[in-house]
Chain A
Amino acid sequence: MSATTSAVAADRPRTRRDAPAEPIRPIPLSRVISVELRKMFDTRSGFWLMASIAIAAVLATGAVILFAPDRGVKYSNFAAAIGFPMAVILPMVAVLSVTSEWSQRSGLTTFTLVPHRGRVVLAKAVATIGVAVASMVLALVIGALGNVLGSAVNGVDTRWDSSLLTFLDIVLGNILGLLIGFMLGVLIRNSAGAIVGYFVFSFVLPTLSGLLAANADWFHRLQPWVDFNVAQGALFSGDLTGRQWAHLGVSSIIWLIIPLAVGVRQVLRSEVK
């Protein structure tokens, strides 16, 4: 061995702790999740991104009260108005929670403190889904208040025309949209790239898919199975048929599960610099 090795002084203490410390326990996943949750709020940009969910919900509610015709003052319209900005913001939350580790290089610390990167990715997924569900409940409440207020202001009866099942469908739709953002974050690992990727996926791809379906008969039949946006969109209009669930499942495997698996594999194996 080297001279370095031979230079050990045998009487030196092996540890620098003055008092014997309690045994070191593994980091529980719940702690990693709570830290990841905190990291989504603790920067100015992160905080305002989160705040924008509530702000957009209030603005959308206000717009329905002010501009909707009397017969339009019903709960489903409030839900739809709030749902749109949320469907855009939540995937951004997911994208940034993943990509900032690379774009801001904080991953160097994160993955040193928690070397099993899969746990960090899982914690981020749980934290973002948690934020999504909490946002949806918040939106539900804001929409309900808006509905009560709106019907009072416009002097019409308060109409509750949405069921819990519809709400759950919308929650699922938004979580799927968020997971698309998450998948792109994991796959691309760059904030700007993943955000552009998300907009291409949800705004450019559907147009191309629609054009192709209108012009090619074979794709017209295939489209429901491979166009994720169409399958996911069905959730927002409620009450899916068994066939539509199958469409959703198949297109999710193609656009969500497979690329997410590829991305996670890359995250686990790649070099963090």
Chain B
Amino acid sequence: MIKVEALTKKYGSFRAVDDISFTAEAGRVTGFLGPNGAGKSTTMRIMVGLTPPTAGNTTISGRHYADLPNPGREVGVLLDASAQHAGRTGREILTIAQRTMGLPAARVEEMLQRVSLTPTEATRRVRNYSLGMRQRLGIATALIGDPEVLILDEPANGLDPAGIRWMRDLLREYADRGGTVLLSSHLLHEIEVIADDLVVIGNGRIVSQGTKAALLQRAGTFVRASARQGELLIALTEAGLDPSPSGDDGLRTTADPEQVGRIALAAGVPLVELRTADGAGLEEMFLELTSDTQRDGVTS
């Protein structure tokens, strides 16, 4: 279990992480979602003691990271797959981790097989690795100590579709066996399929958190009236709802579909589409939640 309490990190007057609190539970995959520069990596670096926080606290299984006697045995960390000495071979990098943690030498070969790096690839120097191979090596380094907690920063970057599928299965199995998985991403779809819980962050602040199911429900209703969109908008607003434009010519509101249907009926506006805004809803929610914090100003 990872617990983050009122964590703040300031660089001068810039608040990279601004008073965030959340918990990543054992047996669940927690997705840490946010646009680039939202503070995900800074938060993760603070968790493992690489960056000192300005205020607040993070604990792993109830203890501070620095108090773990042999951290690699309890927390598997992958923050940046490219942060390795380019002149070492893949096998050597794993061997260094294995020796530091005091594990049997056989773990190195086990891990290479687990992440599907061939013996030939393992003897190549990391300088010649593709990003996908570096991610696999990074995952192997994180898993080698058989830890209870995994902290992975953008682990799917550079993986091909088969690789992403492989990693999804690996993390799912890991969490199902009782492990805690915290993984970050700026890609919603990547996280949507694997995470049980979501923590959405923008500009250093948590904009939303909860179970994926709860967040999907909150995505509300999508409604479309082909011709008389304006009338529908007025009717919904007058009924005290919160319609907002969605997609090409639709509206979205947090009310449930039945309520929206009644209002449309009363107003006499024919509908061509009325449904819960799931699936794509989470993406809209993500864009919306982060719209005032997004650098490109994308709106849904």
Residue B290 interfacial (CB < 8 Å): no
Residue B96 interfacial (CB < 8 Å): yes
Q: Which of B23, B24, B174, B199 has the most CB of A within 10 A?
A: B23
Number of A-B contacts (CB under 8 A): 151
A residues contacting the other copy or chain, number (CB 8 A): 48
Contacts of A113 in B (CB 8 A): 71-72, 97, 100-101
The smallest C-beta distance from A17 to any residue of chain B, in angstroms, reads: 6
Residue A16 interfacial (CB < 8 Å): yes
The smallest C-beta distance from A16 to any residue of chain B, in angstroms, reads: 4
Partner of B83, one of A34, A46, A109: A109
Question: Cβ of A112 and Cβ of B87 under 8 Å apart?
Answer: no
Question: Cβ of A100 and Cβ of B26 under 8 Å apart?
Answer: no
Residue B283 interfacial (CB < 8 Å): no
The smallest C-beta distance from A66 to any residue of chain B, in angstroms, reads: 35
Alpha-carbon gap, A273 to B68, bound state (A): 21
13 pairs, A vs B, C-beta closer than 8 Å? A4-B24, A8-B26, A12-B178, A13-B177, A14-B178, A16-B178, A27-B70, A38-B96, A45-B87, A100-B85, A105-B80, A105-B83, A108-B79
Contacts of B196 in A (CB 8 A): 7
Closest to A114 in B: B100
B residues contacting the other copy or chain, number (CB 8 A): 58
Query: Contacts A24-B73, A113-B100 known; A106 to B68 CB distance under 8 Å?
Result: no
Other A-B contacts than A7-B197, A17-B146, 18 sampled, CB-CB below 8 A, are A3-B209, A3-B210, A7-B211, A12-B178, A13-B26, A16-B148, A24-B69, A24-B74, A27-B70, A45-B87, A108-B83, A111-B50, A112-B48, A112-B71, A112-B77, A113-B97, A115-B65, A271-B45
Q: List the interface of chain A (C-beta within 8 A of B).
A: 1-5, 7-9, 12-18, 21, 24-27, 31-32, 34-35, 38-39, 42-46, 100, 104-109, 111-116, 269, 271-273
Alpha-carbon gap, A31 to B210, bound state (A): 42
